[in-house]
Structure 1
């Protein structure tokens, strides 16, 4: 392969992969993460409304999970970038805190070097100038604000602020946005209902969907569920091209995994790389998986992966392995092992759950397994 470490590419978002990404960062800096940018709720909604930009919360979350905090200053930077303002804070008071950050006088900046303090304070100052009175800082994450300011500095391009953020925290891995387009997600339920806006179907900000999700697509806004073409980032497709292993990991099934695969061109890029591709179904509860046993999850995954050209993209070119733990794992709507055996993919059954992982996948067990796969010791 000509590399010190195998290149593993994860399609992910959210927090489900935080433990695994941190664990892999210790042994393999060649891991890459292609992150969805469609979140439409929480503080992301505020930033998207003000700047008409892709959501950056999942990008910030993944970068922080990759941070090297052995240096005291790096730990202080991570602390600042991970800080979130109170959800119901007073707007004037929180704006005052932002101003302290812009002046470099905030307590969170006390232990930062002059160089780092200057970089961050300049970005906070720019953010205040551009956002004006329209932005309410309540519930805002400071890392998201820094990424948003960088996005505007670099003429609405995400890669440079992601790279700067990575350097500030010495991220041990590569993070790329799945798409640079400012899109949203819409789903159709089995009962015929159509929901536009990711935050309305994840079960986190509103009650879980009452009927199973039957399909998902990109749309232009939370008030417009009509399908809208979203294109894959060229930098993300470059990572796919060079991967030694492609992983569709645990995480919110529709809003994280499938969302990161939805941009046009992504499935085609995956199909052109002959490396192994592995799906790791969720353990535990995911509101988005109502009515989805594991064979149905595979069906939906393949549907999205082949969406670019169903006639040309063969199933085996985008998925060839499913990793399960049939002994210790609890699969929300069933593993359905008999049906799973009839699916035309290789099933690998390994111990993924430990006594300390509370029924979820233990990163300490999964990380070495994925390293085996990436070195093609299992294939």
Structure 2
């Protein structure tokens, strides 16, 4: 029996795609998301330092965006997993909250069945036992803690806790980490500066970078910018090989999109799947894209996609089209359709911005366009 919906795979991270993911989940629950795990800031940094693990914040973010909250219990689970401990407070009092979660007595456990309460309490209990005072609970995400505990409980493998959390919230889509390896991001700026650590170049936790990004790679740590090999997870590559369409969507260009594509093996796997591959450029302000027009973004995207074997991976095997709204879209670096067509890539010009979306892409317009493209023969 054939699939009821086309299988669309998105590469991303962060929050920019959450609106589209939530919207398209109601139209096509067979979409999949391959998520970067290189974040090095905020509470993710505390978890990574304490347990030498990949960042799970973007994974948690996407799972919660896909949650089916029509059930009151699932809505309560999402509320718990979306909660952060206070950003200001005595460490002992924050630890007390974790202890209450571990024994099931925390107010956030109200409204949960005994079975679900025990599952979550056991995870919090395991986390408390493992952390042994090494973890700073300030502003900690409870969803991240659950994933971290599951990661440790499953011999440092991330797929099982992702699958368990997906079942608890009935996620309407598949979420996979791009890699199971523990790496960080480093960039080189045009002014020659090298920055190791994603949180230091996204413009969210520190001042925006003073010079355009001129290259990005995966490194071992924020104190070690030397490039290292990080391999794509087999589950991510399986999703790619079975996709009916692959989308490189809007979001932080380097730290979300290119980061999710950077693990070795993904570009090669993408090239072997003859399905359509589409890039949806950012609208609005992205601190990572100073000095980048859409044409340069496409060139950088192609560099990453062909990185596995540039001599043999053809451009047309990894990117077929760029989806834009030339009339209503705001592309701060500029949109030159003639330059894009010379690369060459097919430019698909559609209405993506609505009167209500404040100059950004409206998921209600983008989602049906992607579904139509996935089912059309426009690329044959």
Q: Which residue of 1 aligns with 2:238?
A: 238
CA deviation after TM superposition for structure 1 residue 105, in Å: 0.4
CA deviation after TM superposition for structure 1 residue 159, in Å: 0.3
Contact 2:337 2:347 in 1 (8 A): no
CA-to-aligned-CA distance 1:270-290 (integer Å, 9 cap, x gap): 000000000000000000000
CA deviation after TM superposition for structure 1 residue 257, in Å: 0.2
Q: Which residue of 1 aligns with 2:11?
A: 11
* SS, match of residue 322 in structure 1: strand
Q: Which residue of 1 aligns with 2:284?
A: 284
Q: Distance in 2 between matches of 1:270 and 1:90?
A: 49
Q: Distance in 2 between matches of 1:368 and 1:343?
A: 27
Q: Which residue of 1 aligns with 2:194?
A: 194
Output aligned runs, 1:115-194, within 5 Å: 115-194=115-194
Q: Which residue of 2 aligns with 1:354?
A: 354
Output aligned runs, 1:104-123, within 5 Å: 104-123=104-123
CA-to-aligned-CA distance 1:50-95 (integer Å, 9 cap, x gap): 1100000000000000000000000000000000112222211110
TM-score under structure 2 normalisation? 0.99
Q: Distance in 1 between matches of 2:50 and 2:374?
A: 42
* SS, match of residue 132 in structure 2: helix
CA-atom RMSD in angstroms:
0.8
Contact 1:372 1:378 in 2 (8 A): no
* SS, match of residue 166 in structure 1: helix
* SS, match of residue 264 in structure 1: coil
* SS, match of residue 77 in structure 2: helix
Output aligned runs, 1:168-317, within 5 Å: 168-317=168-317
CA-to-aligned-CA distance 1:170-229 (integer Å, 9 cap, x gap): 000000000000000000000000000000000000000000000000000000000010
1:100 and 2:84 are equivalent in the alignment: no
* SS, match of residue 26 in structure 1: helix
Contact 1:12 1:34 in 2 (8 A): yes
* SS, match of residue 155 in structure 1: coil
CA deviation after TM superposition for structure 1 residue 376, in Å: 2.3
Q: Distance in 2 between matches of 1:107 and 1:164?
A: 23
Give the ranges of 4+ consecutive aligned residues of structure 1 lying more than 6 Å apart after TM superposition. none
Q: Distance in 1 between matches of 2:182 and 2:338?
A: 41
Q: Which residue of 2 aligns with 1:54?
A: 54
Q: Distance in 1 between matches of 2:364 and 2:89?
A: 39
Q: Which residue of 1 aligns with 2:68?
A: 68
Q: Distance in 2 between matches of 1:373 and 1:266?
A: 22
* SS, match of residue 134 in structure 1: coil
CA deviation after TM superposition for structure 1 residue 377, in Å: 4.7
CA deviation after TM superposition for structure 1 residue 378, in Å: 3.4
TM-score under structure 1 normalisation? 0.99
Q: Distance in 2 between matches of 1:136 and 1:18?
A: 28
Q: Which residue of 2 aligns with 1:23?
A: 23
Output aligned runs, 1:314-353, within 5 Å: 314-353=314-353
* Worse-matched range after superposition: 358-367 or 82-91: 82-91
CA deviation after TM superposition for structure 1 residue 336, in Å: 2.3
In structure 1, runs of 5+ residues without a counterpart are none
In structure 2, runs of 5+ residues without a counterpart are none
CA-to-aligned-CA distance 1:115-147 (integer Å, 9 cap, x gap): 000000000000000011111111110000000
Q: Distance in 2 between matches of 1:377 and 1:309?
A: 28
Q: Which residue of 2 aligns with 1:373?
A: 373
